[in-house]
Structure 1
Amino acid sequence: MAWEYRGILPALQLPFDQNLDIDEAEMRRFAEWLVSHKGIGGLVTNGHTGEVFALTAKQRAQATRLAAEAAKGKVPVVSGICCEGISEAVEHAVMAREAGASALLLMPPHGWLRFGMTQPDNVVDYFTAVGKGSGLDIIVHIYPSWTRASYSFETLAALAKLPWVKSMKVGTRDMNKYARDLRVIKEADPSVTVLTCHDEYLLPTMVQGVDGALVGFASFIPQMIIDLYAAVQAGDLKTAAALQERINPLKDVVYGGGEPTGNAHARMKMAMYLAGILKSPTVQPPTKLPVGAELQAIKDAVRNAGMMQREAA
């Protein structure tokens, strides 16, 4: 099936049991709950929100299989690929395909964050190898402009022209470059969809003509984000601004003044536990759950949003 990667695509939190194993029944239930929201354009496993760094290759495939079983073909399931070398990335991509993934969210090798892309063709070669090796659609994960893994305009255009690339998750976090990134992608291939991944400032990045959002925050408040995007699409900025005001207190306790991080994902997981969305807030070490004043702020925000279902232990 040919999928369009549009609308709201949540990057799923991954439920664990007390032994730090994936809670399969809870993952299926959670994924089914997300799919039940009209406006969800796909499910994304093995993103940063899903604690991909802490997972083995087998666990990554397991997470994708569970999401695919829950989705039942209603929406595409996208599996994040977070690897260092081409051989490993192709191996993980094939495992994702066998687990039921329709597409891959291909992150830059993290060696590029440290050393940069040493030759201009490195990026295109990497994406080409994974596309050929898996045969799956690819969503390009664009990292912040301040990292050494940030793609140039020329590289974005080259990636947009690859036959496997169907969408780009744009996380530039520099509004001037972000606007030009969107324009460059669409000029290279208008059929490639662009998805904001700016969880911490959704409205400003939605109004620039994107095709949706791929955000971990939609694991927590899918309906609010669906409604926000619908208001933007309808040109109703007054309603959109009001929705963003409702989102802000929850956004502030999860992301604070920064962008998504492991600690932010732990704060969000705790908020989802308090709201009754997940039955456990367990995270993989070395990440730790919030305590003290940080935990109290999350409780207050969830309660003030009318979402409180249980108290933290």
Structure 2
Amino acid sequence: MQWTGVMPALTTAFNEDLSIDHPFVARHAQWQVENGVTGLIALGSLGEAATMAFDEKLDLIATLVRAVDGKVPVVAAISALSTSEAVALAKAAYAKGAQGLMILPPYVYKGDWREMKAHVAAILEATPLTAMLYNNPVAYGTDFLPEQIQELATEYPNLKAVKESSTDVRRVTAIRALVGNRLSIFVGVDDAIVEGINAGATGWVAGLVNAFPRESVDLFRLASESKSAEAFELYRWFLPLLRMDTVPKFIQLIKQVQQEIHVGSARVRAPRLEVIGEELAATRAAVQHAIASRPSIAVASTQLTVKAAAK
């Protein structure tokens, strides 16, 4: 398990009856790999894990493991209302072939540091897999401070990375100052990726990569290689879409982008509903502008040969 590069936070494709579309999930995963991603993260926020039953989550992991056949690791995001359920999910995902974990704080309950540390520790101790800590205080109301991340890294050797989604790029430098190269730091918000890499991040858990994998991989590479002019040219073009990853309806918007360019369906599970009206029009306009204004430096993603069922 190498914690580096671009790892998609995969969306989950649904059939018309809102069951998981496993054939499309498999092909979409393979397409991401073909375009250069270094791993696949399933069951995260963007994957709508909160709407899935326990067995559905495991079936999804199994589909992805079969689909990529060892070409890249499959990472299972671990989230639950209770620590016991999170531990059970981690063990079951490991049994299904997951090669890494991404650990979220508990849903709903916003605990103090002692409680959050105990929750994370229980998951880290549940399997021999290495793991990434997911810090997203905006979404979950729990903030893992740099000093607390350092404490976890000191005590748990299988904690290898942190996904930093606080939206504050200074967190990257703060964590790096405390842990050095002990942890890989991933940027978790799409519209801060170039700034995050410049601050010392070495990975990207990306959202719009679900629709534009090659463009995402190229942006990460250019920024990592300090090719500033080329990186910012591609970044400026990409930003109107990347900003969709940072708003409350990011799942609906990213899935709508996938549908607009025929690499997925906009279907989401309730309580989310597909965007309509002005939101839909604005999303379509942003996609059309991106297609029309693609810079010469942008290498388009290869074609996804299997499309989601038509609406």
TM-score, normalised to structure 2's length? 0.88
Q: Deviations over 1:35-80 (max 9, x none)?
A: 1112x11000001110111111111111111111111111111011
CA contact (8 A) 1:6 1:212 kept: yes
Q: Deviations over 1:280-306 (max 9, x none)?
A: 221101101111222122222222222
**Map of 2:12 onto structure 1:** 14
Distance 2:169 2:257 in 1: 29
Shift of 1:148: 4.2
CA contact (8 A) 1:145 1:174 kept: no
Shift of 1:157: 0.5
Distance 2:140 2:47 in 1: 21
SS in 2 for 1:223: helix
Q: 1:54 to 1:249 in 2, by over 3 A?
A: same
Distance 2:65 2:241 in 1: 29
- Within the alignment, does 1:83 sit opposite 2:80 as a pair? yes
**Map of 1:242 onto structure 2:** 233
- Within the alignment, does 1:185 sit opposite 2:179 as a pair? yes
CA contact (8 A) 1:199 1:260 kept: no
1:150 is aligned with what amino acid? D
**Map of 2:57 onto structure 1:** 60
Shift of 1:178: 4.0
CA contact (8 A) 1:5 1:166 kept: yes
Distance 2:170 2:40 in 1: 29
**Map of 1:200 onto structure 2:** 191
Poorly superposed stretches of 4+, deviation over 4 Å: 145-148
CA contact (8 A) 2:153 2:182 kept: no
Shift of 1:147: 6.2
**Map of 1:137 onto structure 2:** 130
Q: Deviations over 1:10-46 (max 9, x none)?
A: 00000000111001111101111001112x1100000
CA contact (8 A) 1:34 1:222 kept: yes
Q: Deviations over 1:105-159 (max 9, x none)?
A: 100113443xx31xx4333322222122222211100123796410123211011
1:272 is aligned with what amino acid? Q
**Map of 2:160 onto structure 1:** 166
Matches within 5 A, 1:98-117: 98-113=95-110, 116-117=111-112
2:272 is aligned with what amino acid? T
CA contact (8 A) 2:172 2:199 kept: no
TM-score, normalised to structure 1's length? 0.88
Q: 1:49 to 1:167 in 2, by over 3 A?
A: same
SS in 2 for 1:121: helix
Distance 2:271 2:108 in 1: 21
CA contact (8 A) 2:188 2:204 kept: yes
- Within the alignment, does 1:298 sit opposite 2:286 as a pair? no
Q: 1:105 to 1:296 in 2, by over 3 A?
A: same
Matches within 5 A, 1:213-224: 213-224=204-215
- Within the alignment, does 1:269 sit opposite 2:262 as a pair? no
Q: Deviations over 1:242-293 (max 9, x none)?
A: 01111022234x24xxx243x2211110110111111x22110110111122
Q: Deviations over 1:182-227 (max 9, x none)?
A: 32232xxx23211111113322222111111012222122212211
Q: 1:237 to 1:144 in 2, by over 3 A?
A: farther
CA contact (8 A) 1:124 1:158 kept: no
CA contact (8 A) 2:260 2:284 kept: yes
2:287 is aligned with what amino acid? V
Q: 1:90 to 1:146 in 2, by over 3 A?
A: closer
**Map of 2:295 onto structure 1:** none
CA contact (8 A) 1:93 1:134 kept: yes
Cα RMSD (Å):
2.1
SS in 1 for 2:216: helix
SS in 2 for 1:191: coil
CA contact (8 A) 2:13 2:20 kept: yes
* Count of residue pairs brought into register by the alignment: 295
Distance 1:163 1:30 in 2: 33
What stretches of structure 2 of length at least 5 have no aligned partner?
Answer: 293-302
CA contact (8 A) 1:16 1:283 kept: yes
**Map of 1:45 onto structure 2:** 42
Q: 1:146 to 1:34 in 2, by over 3 A?
A: closer
SS in 2 for 1:134: coil
